[in-house]
Amino acid sequence: MRKLVTAVSESCGALRMDRPGVLEVTEALELGPGISRLVLDGSLDFEPGQFAMVWVPGVDEIPLSLVGGSPLELLVQAVGDATEAVRSLSAGDRLGIRGPYGSGFEVRGGRSLLLGGGIGVAPLIPLARRVAEFDAAVGAGTADLLVGVEELGAEVATDDGSAGFHGLVTELVEEKDFDKYDEVYCCGPEVMMRAVLDMCLEGGVEGQFSLERYMKCGVGLCGSCCMDPGGERVCVEGPVFSSGGLVGTEFGSYVRDGAGRRHRL
């Protein structure tokens, strides 16, 4: 097994996979309403697309994409109690981190398109440092919810037209010559990614998609993140899947909550 952690805060000792190492927030940047970027006093060796389990004592533990490794950086949008607890942390506050977990993006040659929706831009930021030749497009509901635009040099789409193209990022991309790309890397709301998957299949373009699923353990033990019908564990076999790995699965149709109930997308 490869070494997972290269360096960590001296205050916490070596991070371990089976329990969180405690790191301190050194910088908390508010990027938009409910969206923060946290810089921590530790480092982590990871592949773009991998995630960490982030623990806020007394609240919960949640998976978050890793944005930077040295120093360790996280991007979070408040959508519930745990994400709000992480988002509201300030410099000097502490949180637990374990990981990295899962499979990251496989970086290939050729011309690539990076497509992000909302906070889904997070894993594309470190990926952009590894991909030689790419275009990028980012979408969000409104201009103040756009993230990572400058780092990706991305074209922009907003639902309300407050910045860039007025409409969905998939509609923006449909106007491009889609099949000129060799690889599409995508992360965002699953309905958006499902539309991109269909475009990849129709255009004969390879695609890689980073999924978000409810996770409890993050290490393949609890089954809370499994996809129907094959039982692929998003925390181990994913969160990044190729187009072929998603065809015929529940992807784009429904997700499960913490109680295992199905919710249509």
Q: Which residues bind ligand FES (CB under 6 A)?
A: 215-218, 220-225, 233, 235
Query: Which among 104, 173, 191 has a CA at the least distance from the CA of 136?
Result: 173
> What is the dihedral angle through the alpha carbons of 250, 192, 190, 114, rounded to the nearest 10 degrees?
110
Q: What is the DSSP letter of 202?
A: H
Residue number, 115 or 225, with CB nearest to ligand FES:
225
Burial of residue 30 (CB within 10 Å: 0-12, 13-18, 19+) is exposed
Q: What is the DSSP letter of 19?
A: B
Which H helix or E strand runs over 232? strand 232-233
Residue number, 31 or 236, with CB nearest to ligand FES:
236
Rounded CA-CA distance 163/149 in Å is 11
Residue number, 189 or 220, with CB nearest to ligand FES:
220
Q: To the nearest whole angstrom, how small is the minimum distance from the Cβ of residue 93 to ligand FES?
A: 25
Identify the residue whose tokens are 């389990």. 53
Q: To the nearest whole angstrom, how small is the minimum distance from the Cβ of residue 43 to ligand FES?
A: 25
Q: To the nearest whole angstrom, how small is the minimum distance from the Cβ of residue 44 to ligand FES?
A: 19
Residue number, 40 or 234, with CB nearest to ligand FES:
234
Q: How many CB atoms lie within 10 A of CB 39?
A: 16
CB 69 within 8 A of CB 112: no
Residue number, 75 or 211, with CB nearest to ligand FES:
211
Q: To the nearest whole angstrom, how small is the minimum distance from the Cβ of residue 68 to ligand FES?
A: 24
Q: To the nearest whole angstrom, how small is the minimum distance from the Cβ of residue 52 to ligand FES?
A: 13
Local structure of 37: helix, strand or coil: strand
- Locate 250 and state its tokens: 């529940």
Residue number, 73 or 232, with CB nearest to ligand FES:
232
Residue number, 235 or 255, with CB nearest to ligand FES:
235
Q: To the nearest whole angstrom, how small is the minimum distance from the Cβ of residue 101 to ligand FES?
A: 9
Query: Which among 40, 126, 44 has a CA at the least distance from the CA of 89?
Result: 40
Q: To the nearest whole angstrom, how small is the minimum distance from the Cβ of residue 94 to ligand FES?
A: 24
